[in-house]
Amino acid sequence: MEHTKAIFLISSLLLLQAVTLKSQILQTDLISSDTTWSSDTVRIYNDILLEYPATLSINPGVYLEFQGDYSIEVQGKILALGTEEYPITFTVSDTNGFSNISINAGGWGGIKLLDNSVDTSYFSFCNFSFGKACDTLNQNDRIASESLKGGAIYANGYANILIENCVFSNNMAYHSGGAIMAVNLHNLFISNSLFDNNRVLEYGGALWLNNIEQTVISKNIFNENKAIKFRETAGGTAISGAGAAMWLGAQTSNSFIISNFITNNISLDAAFYETNYKCKVFNNIIVNNRGPGMIIGHSASISLYNNNTIVHNKGFFHNMCGILFFSPNITMRNNIVYGNTSDYYGFDPIQVYSPDPVIADFAYSCNPDEPVYYQGEGNIHEDPQFVNPTSGAGPDYDGLSADWSLLDSSPCVNTGTPDTTGLNLPTTDLLGNPRIFGIRVDMGAIENQMVVGLPPNPQVNARIQVSPNPFGQSFKVIAPNDKKISSISLFNQNGQQIATETMMPFEQMLVFDLRNQSPGLYLLVTRFADGSTETTKLVKY
């Protein structure tokens, strides 16, 4: 199909002499009524203001080419809805000078979403490249200047923003949000998008987010983004920068960070940096980054961290390579934190560390550390056995092309927490497969879809007798003579606890009646007084 070429010349200084049927020409930098851009190419020569309550609709396949450091300020609503076959492109005509972070040459000024408490702007199948928020202000002005934040999108005081199936590549900001900076929003949803090679000197190589009522960041890839600054001092070279992939501020109250792939990013203070009070971080793979995998910075945080794979990151210090945390109230379950290293020679790398110190509630996870900075049952220390991991730590190895799923022989298969009540786990893993396959959840972001039974439990040092197995309506548990049992709990194949019993000292047998339960797999967890446990798989026919 032949596309009609069109040129939009948007400049109040341009004298227009001709209008042809193949061209749509605008003579104003102000949009005050509903407008649709449908031509193949839009060339933008000056800043544009979209007034409230006007809507700017951009049709699939439109190529927006900014002719310099110009931006679109949106006080109304923008709907940029491309398709997989015909994406919408936002870029600049001349990238000469883009790598110089002290000037705005080589980039365009980004989308500015401002001062609208009711509308929703929506970006789907859009490509954003060479957005740039830098200038020649002196150092004291840089932190306060809004012109230094949000390379491709800057949002402040806007109601709702939806971004899906987009690509943000080669965008830059001096201070925060190499690709996107958002603050004072009601809702922000970003999904199924790629953030690649975006850069900032201070905070949030790809994303900088703060004071948002609800944030959902799901199923995105963050690859080769940077939040790092090198500065010469009297004592040598100082390094700063935080959140190479994303930086979440303390005022962001309800964040969901789910099923993202964060790899090969570079920052002194973590690929993922958050200071939320309440955050749910599930099913993420954070691998082969330079700097620690994640920093959990809020000292009063009650966040949940479940089923994340944080491996092969390379920190600058031995105690900042896996997870660095500051709150004793966070809950971490079913995580794999393994093989993170540092180039701080002479000290063994610490996978889970707190400088305060406080002790993390860290259970049913894989971590080679001794329990100095964490406590909890069900932890294992063996190699997690990935299918095809990178051969080393840090961004010199391509974490994106590796396979971080678990081998059938992995000790992390079916050894996550037997009771998932209250964990709010998603129904699927990072790959979209069932989150619980078989009788018990796995550790890590990817659930093994082959192994139904349980591997040997390394904590088992006692035996009980369970019969019959398989059973029809009931089964009995006979305790050993030399072990005192604290409790016996029964879980269904969804990880829900359906019964728990405590055996008196003189008892040696308990009977569980399951005539009202569905056929299938069940897990019996026996806890002994000495702290050891035994797990038994049962089948009801």
Q: For residue 533, what pLDDT band results from cuts at 50, 70 and 90?
A: confident
Q: For residue 90, what pLDDT band results from cuts at 50, 70 and 90?
A: very high
Q: What is the CA radius of gyration of the chain?
A: 27
The predicted pLDDT at position 151 comes to 96
Q: Would you say 222 and 199 are in contact if contact means Cβ atoms under 8 Å apart?
A: no
257, 308, 247, 300: which is closest to 280 by C-alpha?
257
Q: For residue 356, what pLDDT band results from cuts at 50, 70 and 90?
A: confident
Instruction: Quote the mean pLDDT of the chain.
Output: 87
Residue 299 clears pLDDT 90, i.e. is over it:
no
Residues 6+ apart with CB under 8 A from 207: 177, 179, 180, 181, 182, 190, 195, 217, 243, 245, 246, 247
The predicted pLDDT at position 478 comes to 79
The predicted pLDDT at position 534 comes to 80
Residue 290 clears pLDDT 90, i.e. is over it:
yes
Least confident stretch, 119-123, 195-199, 324-328:
324-328
Least confident stretch, 33-37, 100-104, 427-431:
100-104
Residue 128 phi, psi dihedral angles, 5° rounding? -115, 120
For tokens 């309800």, what's the residue?
A: 254
| Dihedral, CA of residue 525, residue 530, residue 531 and residue 535, to nearest 10 | -20
How far apart (Å, rounded) are the C-alpha atoms in residues 59 and 90? 13
The predicted pLDDT at position 489 comes to 86
Residue 29 clears pLDDT 50, i.e. is over it:
yes
The predicted pLDDT at position 102 comes to 84
Residues 6+ apart with CB under 8 A from 462: 480, 483, 526, 528, 532, 534
Amino acid at 372: V
Q: For residue 144, what pLDDT band results from cuts at 50, 70 and 90?
A: low
How far apart (Å, rounded) are the C-alpha atoms in residues 400 and 119? 36
Q: Which residue has the higher pLDDT, 25 or 128?
A: 128
For residues 250-263, average pLDDT? 90
Residue 309, classed as helix, strand or coil, is strand
Amino acid at 367: N
The predicted pLDDT at position 518 comes to 84
Q: What is the pLDDT of residues 302-334, one digit of tens each?
A: 899 999 999 999 999 999 999 999 998 999 999
How far apart (Å, rounded) are the C-alpha atoms in residues 406 and 320? 25
How far apart (Å, rounded) are the C-alpha atoms in residues 249 and 117? 21
The predicted pLDDT at position 506 comes to 54
How far apart (Å, rounded) are the C-alpha atoms in residues 63 and 175? 28
For residues 8-35, average pLDDT? 48
Q: What is the pLDDT of residues 458-476, one digit of tens each?
A: 444 446 788 777 778 888 8
Least confident stretch, 23-27, 248-252, 437-441, 501-505:
23-27
Reported as half-sphere exposure (CB side, CA atoms, 13 A), residue 323 has a value of 28
Whole-angstrom CA distances from 403 to 111, 270, 289, 400, 407 are 36, 22, 16, 8, 10
How far apart (Å, rounded) are the C-alpha atoms in residues 264 and 328? 29
Q: Would you say 446 and 430 are in contact if contact means Cβ atoms under 8 Å apart?
A: yes
Residues 6+ apart with CB under 8 A from 467: 475, 476, 478
DSSP H helical ranges for 38-196: 139-142
Beta partners for 229? 240
The predicted pLDDT at position 475 comes to 83
Candidate ranges 15-19, 110-114, 229-233; pick with highest mean pLDDT: 110-114
How far apart (Å, rounded) are the C-alpha atoms in residues 247 and 177? 8
Residue 520 clears pLDDT 70, i.e. is over it:
yes
Whole-angstrom CA distances from 151 to 168, 234, 243 are 10, 32, 15
519, 483, 494: which is closest to 420 by C-alpha?
494
Write the burial class of residue 144 (CB in 10 Å: 0-12 exposed, 13-18 middle, 19+ buried): exposed
